[in-house]
Amino acid sequence: MLINCVAYENGLKIAEMPIDQISDYLAKPGVFVWVALFEPSIEELAVMQAEFQLHDLAILDVVHGHQRPKTEEYGDVIFSVVQMVTTQANKSLKVGELDIFTGSNFILSIRSRSDKALLGVRARCEQDPHLLALGPAYVLYALVDYVVDEYFDVQEDLQSELEEIEADIFMKSKGRQNIERLYYLKQKVSILKHACVPLREKFSHFNGGRIPVVLAQAHLNEYFRDLNDHLARIIDLLESIEDSISMTVQVNLSLVTIDETEITKRLAAWAGIFGLATSFAGIWGMNFDKMPELQWQFGYPMALLTIFGGCALLFWRFKKIKWL
């Protein structure tokens, strides 16, 4: 589906045209076209491929989707894939995809499996004509920078979720539940990390070393360096969350072990108390003829007193050492 198709000259919007007029504006010097699509059909992609002379392999990647974040050069066109990660109402993560074709006089963005609209990026670029005048290369930076900023929001959600789990970590009834929540949180951290790490690796080449001609002409090294710094910061924060998750799991397991040890102590204490009573009852329950205390008129009360006294002494002792 076509979202919008706009031509710009010197950073200013000059026309919003139908697709069949794209080639007319591409032929004009100093003009570039910015086309945005959302989950396009095969026919729409075929039209875009014909208009912008896009490579077959890149179009196949768009059709198949679920690509790893990357940048590839096909002649004078840069094909970039960025994963759009957003937090859902149920705290799960939704992973969409943004495919971007950047040429010398055009930029084509294709959004798939994501409800996050990019109209705000276009509006922000149009508010800065002097930057938009740098051409498609700046639009590429603006689109990726917007997605990376969304990563920060997701990272903050993950940090908040971790803090909620840590607040419940000392509640004895939630040991298993906390482990499950930590496991699912670790999965979500991995999802976001898999979106950031390859993206940083690919876009780090744009602020130094060999820079594609399309980007070199715009002199955006500082902007892409700033983008790289943002990605590095997010990765560091995610690694910190991963370390915290590992530590929290260990603490939770230690608390479970402590709880089990406390239960074992209680069981051992009660077993000792009942064992003492059982041993006295077993001795006096033997059927020997020569057991003088059994013939004593105070034998039964003394036996009960001995049993209860010994059990009481053990109970006091276990209570004192906090086994009961």
The full DSSP string for 140-162 is HHHHHHHHHHHHHHHHHHHHHHH
- Comparing CA positions, the residue from 102, 173, 93 lying closest to residue 140 is 102
Gap between the Cα atoms of 16 and 33, Å rounded: 9
- Comparing CA positions, the residue from 48, 40, 157 lying closest to residue 110 is 40
Tell me which amino acid residue 312 is. A
Tell me which amino acid residue 100 is. I
Give the pLDDT of residue 210: 67
Q: What are the φ and ψ backbone dihedral angles of 296, each rounded to 5 degrees?
A: -75, 140
- Comparing CA positions, the residue from 79, 55, 83 lying closest to residue 67 is 83
Residue-by-residue pLDDT tens, the chain, 324 positions: 888 999 999 999 999 989 989 998 999 998 999 999 999 999 999 999 999 999 999 999 999 988 899 999 998 899 999 999 999 988 899 999 999 999 989 999 999 988 888 888 999 999 999 999 999 999 999 999 999 999 999 999 999 999 988 888 777 667 778 888 889 999 999 999 999 999 998 888 777 666 777 777 777 888 888 999 999 999 999 999 999 998 888 887 777 776 777 777 788 888 888 887 787 777 666 665 666 666 666 667 777 787 788 888 888 887 887 777
**131-133-134-135 Cα dihedral, nearest 10 degrees:** 120
Q: What are the φ and ψ backbone dihedral angles of 107, each rounded to 5 degrees?
A: -145, 130
Give the pLDDT of residue 288: 58
Gap between the Cα atoms of 23 and 104, Å rounded: 14
Question: What element of type H or E holds 314?
Answer: helix 299-320
Give the pLDDT of residue 209: 64
- Comparing CA positions, the residue from 3, 176, 158 lying closest to residue 85 is 158
CB atoms within 10 A of CB 311: 17
The full DSSP string for 227-271 is HHHHHHHHHHHHHHHHHHHHHHHHHHHHHHHHHHHHHHHHHHHHH
